[in-house]
Every structure is written in C-alpha cells, then in structure tokens.
Amino acid sequence: MPEEENKNSEAKLRSIIATIDVANALTAPLTLSIENLLKISAAEINSEEASVLIRDGDAGDLLFLAAIGKVAEHLKTLKIPSGKGIAGFVFSSGQPMALTDVGEEDTFYAAVDQQTGYSTQTILAAPLRHDGEIIGVLEYVNRIGEPPFEPFTSAEMDKVALFAEAIASLVNAYESAKLFRDLSDKMLSQPEKMRFEEVREWLQDLRETTEHKEMLDLAVVVREIAGRGANERRLCKEVLESILRYSEDNAETSFLSS
C-alpha cells in the first residue's frame, strides 16, 4: 500500500538522519580533543608543527585529520598518495622515524611543502596503533624558533609514543563514528520517490523536534561519561542496559501494546 510504503520510507529516513547527526555530534569533539593533545605534546618536545594523518578509503592515501601550526588549515585540505613520504613509510612499516635533515631522505614527499609554502627540515613521526593495527601516523615538524634546528632525541621519541597511545584511542573512536556517518550518507544519497525540496523541508522539521534534540543531547552526555574513565563507562553501560530491560518489559505488559 502506498501509505504504508511512505511510512516505511519516513521511518528509514528518520533512522538515517539520527545516525548522521549523532555521528556528527561525536566526531567534532573528538577532532578537537586530538588537536588539544597535539598542542600539549608539541609543547613537550618544543615542536612548531604537529599533525595526525589517517588512511583515506581503500586507495591507501593519507589525509590530515588534525593539525596545529602555521599551515594547519592548509594541511587539512591535502592528501599524501599511498606509500609516499615519511608518513607513508611509517604507516606501512609501523616503525617510528626521526630525521635531522629531510632533504637527505629519498622518501620525503616535498609536494606538501610546495603546496603550503612551508619549509620542513626535521621530522619525528610515530605510528598510531589500536588493537595491534596501524590506524594513522603522528608527526612533529621542526623546532620552535629559527633554523638550524636541533634533532629530535630518543627520549622525545619515547614521550611521543605515550601521546600516540592516547591519540590512537581518539582516532579509533573518530573512525567508528565516521563509519556510521558515511554509511548513512550513502544510504541517504540513494534515489527516493520524493522531491528534493520536500525532503529538505522534512529534514529541517525533523531536526527541530524535541525528540531529535534530546537524542543528540543524550549522545553527548554518554560521550562525556565515556571519557571520564573505565568505572564511569561500566556504570553508564549498566544503567542504560537496565533502562532498556525495563522498557522492554514494560512494553510487553503494557495495555497499549495489546
């Protein structure tokens, strides 16, 4: 029946939009947290520029997820081709690198400097690992001040390894949220038997509803609790599961469900 099909389509769209908006609500604070860690860690090793690169799709290219420094905003628009550059080597090999003079390194990808106008001279790069898998690269470039720059030390590489663990956890959370968002975007882009203007107006009305706003608020609260520690995450999970069980039991015994 056409009416039933319309209801099913509306329910599907509601679910997709909810997923996209929750994912967006989660990814933005994660990138901000990553940038904050970049600032803290860069200050620890007296580095001028720092960035996090992640894989972009199946082709294996790397893109800048987060960056700080003079050319940070420009970097976020660039990609490094698969297997190219210091970042590409670290990503594929899983080995950290500290270079005193990138001009003497054949694997250095000079195109990034050419496009940003920046002059990279020293680099410290470390892999980002989660559950044994390399999910990105953490890079620090140059020292604060004027060249010639002092080389990065082995002690600083050890410090960076600790920061890499924390940043890898955030990157993994970002990737998980982004996966849901990308899948939902793909589903939403599929042809529907509705005019675009009607869909746009419907989406605007949906996002203005109290229910939708409360759902996003709940997602943000859960994210904040999850960031407080293992005990808080466990307690939050138990409380939410209890609410879910209560809701299911209530639905089974409710007169409204008969």
Nearest to 170 by CA among 16, 41, 15: 41
Sequential pLDDT tens for the chain (258 residues): 455 555 565 565 565 555 555 555 566 778 888 999 999 999 999 999 999 999 987 778 999 999 999 999 999 999 999 989 999 999 999 999 999 999 888 889 999 999 999 999 999 999 999 989 999 999 999 999 998 999 999 999 999 999 999 999 889 888 877 765 565 555 555 544 444 455 555 555 555 667 556 655 666 666 667 667 777 777 777 777 777 776 666 654 443 343
- What pLDDT is recorded for position 124? 97
In contact, 108 and 85? CB cutoff 8 Å = yes
- What pLDDT is recorded for position 38? 95
Q: Which two tokens stand for residue 81?
A: 């081709």
Q: Which domains does the chain have, with CATH numbers?
A: 27-179 (3.30.450.40)
Decide: residue 167, CB within 10 A, 0-12 exposed, 13-18 middle, 19+ buried: buried
- What pLDDT is recorded for position 223? 64
Q: List all residues 6 or more positions away from 205 whose beta carbon is below 8 Å from its beta carbon.
A: none
In contact, 140 and 160? CB cutoff 8 Å = yes
